């Protein structure tokens, strides 16, 4: 194997709010709707609103079905158009339209209103993790990812479970989840303060920082970081208030090289580059083929970078095999490349 080009200077040591949480949020919003007396005193309307909030809390993630096609389509489109401004408007109309055909007559305006709130709330909360959304489409395709909570946050999940437990014990649904959401709002404020302190620590430790991407873990006091300066990437971790530098890479733009140019035409690589804001690349030459690898620096677990794109090309620069997605060992990646279509 011969290393043609790489942007790796020094090797140091060392994904969506989950469906379950969104379901619980649908229940929570249906419960909050009971604060409206018209809904609270009409069982038929109350059930319709709950159906609407449950459906609305799930609808934007229908793009998950793209996984059945391939990872490239999924990565390019997940949390894209289905989380856009037009979709936030259309989803409630579609859901309520279907309901009117099968559900007895009721106050459809209130059903639409709470379904709209559920859809909008789904898109809104998705911007707070590191994966983010394209919530401002069609005005921009920029990913909005605030990086203050994990995609599965156990505290948020447990608070919702406690709320549902209160309902089973006879607590008032509206007041119960109003209280829960006040606590969750305070939790988000705390997470933003933690993030601000982390960024201040990074800037005081590393000179010339231009960007800090925070990737919270499910552990409240542990964060992963991808840090950029004008000429380097740092991969780091915050654990109990301490900053640990795990890896350090020199930054280089993608070269105007025949192998790289051919690799960028691959569907998997193009999907990766459209999604990843901070990555390193390397090109290797073997006896009978070339291999180009892109590694997202935000996702590091047990010393392995789990989100990658790899493409193999023959000596004539024809694509032989490629893969993009989350992978947790080199052995599994090699199997994926062997199974990928030529």
pLDDT for residue 89 is more than 50:
yes
Is residue 200, in this structure, part of any structural domain at all? no
The average confidence (pLDDT) of the chain is 89
Calpha distance 27→177 (Å, rounded): 9
pLDDT, one tens digit per residue, over 219-253 is 889 999 999 999 999 999 999 889 999 999 999 99
User: Looking at residue 74, what is its pLDDT?
Assistant: 75
Domain match, 222 and 291 both: no
Is residue 102, in this structure, part of any structural domain at all? yes
Strand bridging mode 222-229 / 209-216: antiparallel
User: Looking at residue 19, what is its pLDDT?
Assistant: 83
Domain match, 231 and 261 both: no
Is residue 57, in this structure, part of any structural domain at all? yes
Position 112 confidence tier, pLDDT thresholds 50, 70, 90: very high
Q: CA dist 133 to 18, 75, 144, Å? A: 14, 11, 5
User: Looking at residue 211, what is its pLDDT?
Assistant: 96
Domain match, 177 and 229 both: no
Alpha helices in the chain (DSSP H): 19-32, 37-40, 43-58, 71-77, 85-102, 108-126, 154-168, 173-205, 258-264, 267-275, 330-339
pLDDT for residue 147 is more than 70:
yes
Domain match, 134 and 183 both: yes
Higher pLDDT among residues 263 and 14, named by residue: 263
Residue 235 is encoded by which pair of tokens?
């991969």
Q: CA dist 53 to 29, 49, 119, 136, 221, Å? A: 6, 6, 8, 22, 32
Among the listed residues 175, 149, 177, 174, the one whose alpha carbon sits nearest the alpha carbon of residue 161:
177
Domain count, the chain: 3
- Among candidate residues 250, 266, 285, the one where a domain is terminated: 250
Residue 201 is encoded by which pair of tokens?
């620590």
Position 67 confidence tier, pLDDT thresholds 50, 70, 90: low
- Among candidate residues 144, 163, 190, the one where a domain is terminated: 190
Contact 31, 163 (CB under 8 A): yes
Position 142 confidence tier, pLDDT thresholds 50, 70, 90: confident
Is residue 10, in this structure, part of any structural domain at all? no
Over range 188-215, report the average pLDDT.
96
Give the domain range for residue 233.
Answer: 206-250
Domain match, 289 and 313 both: yes
pLDDT for residue 274 is more than 80:
yes
Calpha distance 120→87 (Å, rounded): 9
| Residues forming a β-bridge with 235 | 226, 247
Q: Which residue has the tokens 């008032």?
A: 172
Higher pLDDT among residues 245 and 78, named by residue: 245
Among the listed residues 33, 64, 60, the one whose alpha carbon sits nearest the alpha carbon of residue 49:
33
Q: How many residues appear in the chain?
A: 342
Domain match, 243 and 309 both: no
User: Looking at residue 301, what is its pLDDT?
Assistant: 82
Domain match, 245 and 298 both: no
Calpha distance 242→84 (Å, rounded): 38
Contact 56, 115 (CB under 8 A): yes
Burial class (CB in 10 A: 0-12, 13-18, 19+), 88: buried
Is residue 198, in this structure, part of any structural domain at all? no
Among the listed residues 134, 307, 147, the one whose alpha carbon sits nearest the alpha carbon of residue 213:
147
SS3 for 213?
strand
User: Looking at residue 68, what is its pLDDT?
Assistant: 64
Domain match, 82 and 220 both: no
Domain match, 70 and 149 both: yes
pLDDT for residue 261 is more than 50:
yes
Strand bridging mode 307-314 / 289-296: antiparallel
Position 314 confidence tier, pLDDT thresholds 50, 70, 90: very high
Position 340 confidence tier, pLDDT thresholds 50, 70, 90: low
User: Looking at residue 309, what is its pLDDT?
Assistant: 93
pLDDT, one tens digit per residue, over 151-174 is 889 999 999 999 999 999 999 999
Identify the sign of the CA torsion 17, 23, 27, 30: positive
pLDDT for residue 297 is more than 90:
yes
Longest dimension (CA), the chain: 75
| DSSP-assigned states of every residue in 284-336 | EE-SSEEEEEEEETT-EETTEE-EEEEEEEETT--EEEEEEEE-S-HHHHHHH
The percentage of residues in the chain with a pLDDT greater than 70, rounded to a whole number, is: 92
Is residue 331, in this structure, part of any structural domain at all? yes
The percentage of residues in the chain with a pLDDT greater than 90, rounded to a whole number, is: 69
Domain match, 321 and 213 both: no
Domain match, 127 and 210 both: no
- Among candidate residues 232, 250, 268, the one where a domain is terminated: 250
User: Looking at residue 275, what is its pLDDT?
Assistant: 87
Is residue 75, in this structure, part of any structural domain at all? yes
Domain match, 240 and 263 both: no
User: Looking at residue 64, what is its pLDDT?
Assistant: 76
Is residue 199, in this structure, part of any structural domain at all? no
């Amino acid at each position: 194997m011969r290393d043609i080009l790489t942007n790796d200077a020094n090797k140091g040591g060392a994904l969506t709010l989950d469906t379950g949480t969104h379901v619980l949020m649908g229940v929570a919003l249906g419960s909050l709707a009971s604060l409206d007396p018209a809904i609270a005193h009409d069982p038929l309307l109350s059930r319709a609103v709950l159906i609407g909030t449950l459906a609305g809390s799930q609808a934007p993630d229908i793009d998950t079905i793209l996984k059945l096609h391939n990872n490239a389509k999924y990565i390019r489109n997940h949390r894209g158009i289905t989380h856009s401004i037009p979709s936030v408007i259309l989803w409630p109309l579609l859901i309520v339209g279907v309901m009117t055909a099968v559900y007895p007559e009721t106050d459809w305006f209130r059903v639409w209103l709470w379904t709209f709130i559920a859809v909008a709330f789904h898109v809104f909360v998705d911007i707070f993790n590191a994966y983010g959304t394209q919530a401002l489409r069609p005005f921009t395709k920029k990913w909005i990812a605030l990086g203050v909570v994990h995609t599965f946050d156990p505290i948020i999940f447990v608070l919702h479970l406690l709320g549902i437990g209160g309902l089973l014990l006879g607590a008032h649904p509206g007041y119960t989840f109003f209280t829960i959401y006040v606590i969750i709002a305070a939790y988000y404020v705390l997470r933003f303060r933690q993030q601000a302190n982390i960024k201040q620590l990074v800037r005081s430790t590393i000179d010339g920082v231009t960007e800090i991407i925070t990737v919270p873990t499910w552990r409240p006091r542990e964060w992963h970081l991808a840090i950029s300066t004008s000429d380097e990437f740092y991969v780091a971790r915050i654990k109990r208030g301490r900053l640990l530098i795990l890896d350090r890479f020199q930054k280089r733009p993608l070269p105007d090289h025949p192998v790289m140019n051919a690799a960028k035409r691959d569907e998997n690589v193009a999907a990766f580059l459209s999604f990843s804001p901070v990555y390193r690349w390397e090109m290797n030459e073997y006896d009978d083929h070339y291999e180009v690898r892109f590694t997202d620096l935000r996702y590091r677990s047990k010393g392995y970078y789990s989100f990658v794109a790899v493409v193999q090309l023959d000596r004539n620069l024809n694509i032989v095999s490629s893969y993009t997605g989350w992978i947790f060992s080199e052995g599994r990646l090699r199997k994926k490349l062997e199974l990928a279509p030529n």
